[in-house]
Chain A
Amino acid sequence: MELKVIADAAGAPGGGCASSGCGAGGDKLAHLPEAIRAKINNHPCFSEDAHHHYARMHVAVAPACNIQCHYCNRKYDCSNESRPGVVSEVLTPEQAVKKVIAVAAAIPQMTVLGIAGPGDPLANPQRTLETFRQLSENAPDIKLCVSTNGLALPGLVDEICKHNIEHVTITINCVDPDVGAKIYPWIFWNNRRVTGRKAAEILIEQQQKGLEMLVARGVLVKVNSVLIPGVNAEHLKEVSRVVKAKGAFLHNVMPLIAEPEHGTFYGMMGQRGPTNEELSALQDACAGDMAMMRHCRQCRADAVGMLGEDRGDEFTLDKIAEQDVDYAAAMARRAEVHAAIEASRTAQRRQSSETFVSIAALTRRRPARPEPRPVLMAVATMGGGVINQHFGHAREFLVYEASTNDVRFIGHRKVDLYCSGDETCGDGESVLAKTIRVLDGCEVVLCSRIGYEPWGQLEAAGIVPNGEHAMEPIEDAVAAVYREMDEAGLLDRPDGAMHRMSA
């Protein structure tokens, strides 16, 4: 029950100061006990900084599911963990293990293997646990994690602990069965289909019990919630409070994605997803309660690679079948690469703290001025913590909030969730228009380069493109641009009044 410490350290209920301005600094995990920080230091899904440097991978071994969520179309991957609309090739545990070992050898940055579907991993316990068993035996340097809707969790906690799985993600959308009845039409429980409020009641009970059991055994638990406007938006604050009290160490609120063409119940019935503002506001509200994770990209369950890239094509079954990996040698090489990454992270951290000091110094010199307003900036990056992506190639942007106190990571904005990412997917015109809509609220976009055409349109939309900080560490560059804006007197006016740096 050591994890209780987290709750206390995060502040009294409702009284948190994690929203902007309290000067807590960039590291949202700073309040966690040392043992937990060490565990998640190089976990790309849990540490804001680590996801620039390390990669996670998922394998699809678990096709079946034991509940129905209204935001899910069961032709596709589980939308609790992954974006809908992508069908995974279901692997046997043996195929999955072979694939993981091939990827780990080729991409040493890959530190985490997760099983997240396409259905519910714990509704397929034999397949899931067999995969974990073989991996912990053959590739002990890979961290294992599993995501679940929680229904079958209490019965499998002991099994999970046996395989020494470090992290479990539970999707918890509600703690009130009346709310749950609007999200889950039925569950399969004790060999029967159970519907309505009763179904939600059983599911919630199992989720909470599973969470408590895992925490009691020292397993890290992350909670995911899907924000559904008009259904659980307000209620998620209560969810956040409850899961914190029980010892979950991170709460990740994801937006509902519902379009008619996905064929989900919500999509077909016209349930809307949250706006970027609604999502941020809720994340802020919950952040007062506990560490929120904002960099979740709702990654695809079978994606391979870093920061939104997908190198899955390099590791298809026929390609890995030919490979015979010497994992002992690969493991030695992986250890070297990890050491090099850690060295460069330490160096980057030192650099950025100097930048923070200089911004603070700037405000101290002019104490009479009112506090400059914070600014949102979007960044195009392919990883490594630096600005290194061409605007036109970016399919997602990292959004940062710069203020006089710090540069704070706010979240990801995806340009086209259903776009395959190559140039052939739709005409440039509409992709650009969509990008501009997605960047709503940002005043600057930082990228390595940008074409003439999008430059003009971005400016017209009140977003200033900036390619002057290519290859610089993100937080330094954001801080520098913020300082320039401040010096140019652009930050005195109230939020929203300023739209352009030039003209």
Chain B
Amino acid sequence: MAFKIIEGCVNCWACLPLCPSEAIREALPHFMIDARACTECEGDFADPQCASICPIEGVILDGLGVPVNPPGSLTGIPPDRWAEIRTQIQAR
């Protein structure tokens, strides 16, 4: 099983130096994970490193093809609360 970087990655470099398996490559239009090299960080870290530092929601998929950082997970706001929070912030 392997993780995957998909479209939307902003090539920010954060993940690349952290990968214990050297599976991440600088590439265009976005960075890539070598599926043969990715170990899902098993044996090295409790959490997959790339997905733990990536700042962009939805661009890293786990071995099952599910986004590790779904919409709302990185801003800290569940999608159904956006409208509510927006109103609060606009009142500042």
Q: CB within 8 Å of B: which residues of A?
A: 63-66, 68, 70, 74-75, 90, 119, 123-124, 185-186, 188, 191-193, 195-196, 229-231, 265-266, 269-272
B76 x A64 contact (CB < 8 A): no
Asked if A65 and B52 make an inter-chain contact with CB atoms under 8 angstroms apart, the answer reads no
Contact with A along B1-33 (1 / 0, CB 8 A): 000000000101110111000000000000000
B contact residues around A90 at 8 Å (CB): 13
Query: Once bound together, how far apart are the Cα atoms of A266 and B89, in whole Å?
Result: 8
- B49 located at the interface, meaning its Cβ lies under 8 Å from any Cβ of chain A in the complex: yes
**How long is the Cα–Cα vector from A229 to B90 in the complex, in angstroms?**
11
Residue of B nearest to A269 (CB): B89
Contact A119 B85 (CB under 8 A): no
- Give the residues in chain B near A75, CB-CB below 8 Å: 10, 12
Shortest A204–chain B CB gap in Å is 17
Contacts A66-B14, A271-B92, A272-B92 given; does A186 touch B74 at CB 8 Å: yes
Question: How many Å lie between the Cα of A265 and that of B76 in the bound state?
Answer: 11
Q: Separation in Å of the A143 CB from the closest CB of chain B? A: 27
Chain B, Cβ-Cβ closest to A184: B76
Nearest 3 interchain pairs by C-beta? A230-B92, A63-B13, A64-B14
* Total contacting residues, chain B, CB less than 8 A: 25
Complex Cα distance, B72 from A269, in Å, reads 13
Determine if B86 and A270 form an interchain contact, defined as CB atoms under 8 angstroms apart. Answer: yes
Is the Cβ of B53 less than 8 Å from the Cβ of A269?
no
Q: Which residue of A lies closest to B20 (CB)?
A: A191
Name A192's contact: one of B16, B46, B92 (CB within 8 Å). B46
Collect the chain A residues with CB atoms within 8 Å of residue B61's CB. Answer: none
Please state if B86 and A269 are interface contacts (CB–CB under 8 Å). Answer: yes
Chain B, Cβ-Cβ closest to A64: B14
Are the CB atoms of B92 and A188 closer together than 8 Å? no
Cross-chain contact A185 with B12 (CB below 8 angstroms): no
List B residues 69-85 near A (Cβ within 8 Å). Answer: 74-76, 82, 85
Q: List 6 A-B contacts (CB under 8 A).
A: A63-B13, A75-B10, A191-B45, A191-B47, A230-B92, A271-B92
Nearest-Cβ distance from residue A82 to partner chain B, whole angstroms: 15
**Cβ–Cβ < 8 Å partners of B45 in chain A:** 191
Asked if residues B76 and A270 are in contact (CB atoms below 8 Å), the reply is no
Within 8 A of A (CB), among B36-92: 45-47, 49, 52-53, 55-56, 74-76, 82, 85-86, 89-92
CA distance A75 to B85 in the complex (A): 24
Asked whether, in the complex, the Cβ of A64 is within 8 Å of the Cβ of B74, the reply is no
Q: Are A269 and B13 in contact (CB under 8 A)?
A: no
Separation of A70 and B86 alpha carbons in the complex (Å): 13
**Within the assembled complex, what's the spacing in Å between the Cα atoms of A66 and B18?**
11
From the candidates B16, B76, B82, B92, name the one contacting A229 in the complex (CB within 8 A). Answer: B92
Provide the residues of chain B in CB contact with A265, threshold 8 Å.
75
Complex-state Cα separation, A65 to B45, whole angstroms:
20
* A195 CA / B10 CA spacing, docked (Å): 21
Residue contact B76 to A195, C-beta cutoff 8 Å: yes
Identify which of B46, B47, B89 contacts A271 (C-beta below 8 A). B89
User: Is the pair B53, A185 in contact by a Cβ cutoff of 8 Å?
Assistant: no
**Shortest Cβ distance from residue B46 to the other chain A in the assembled complex, whole angstroms:** 7
* Neighbouring B residues of A266 by C-beta, 8 Å: 89
Chain B residues within an 8 Å CB radius of A193 = 47, 52-53
Q: Which residues of A contact B18 (CB under 8 A)?
A: 191
CB distance from B33 to the nearest CB of A (A): 16
Residue in B closest to A188 when the chains form the complex, CB atoms? B53
Per a CB cutoff under 8 Å, which of A65, A124, A269 touches B55? Answer: A65
Q: Are B74 and A185 in contact (CB under 8 A)?
A: yes
* A188 proximity list for chain B (CB < 8 A): 14, 52-53
Complex Cα–Cα for A193 and B57 (A): 13
Contact (Cβ within 8 A) B13 A66: no
Q: What CA separation (Å) do A117 and B39 show in the bound complex?
A: 30
Give chain A nearest CB distance to B57 CB in angstroms: 11
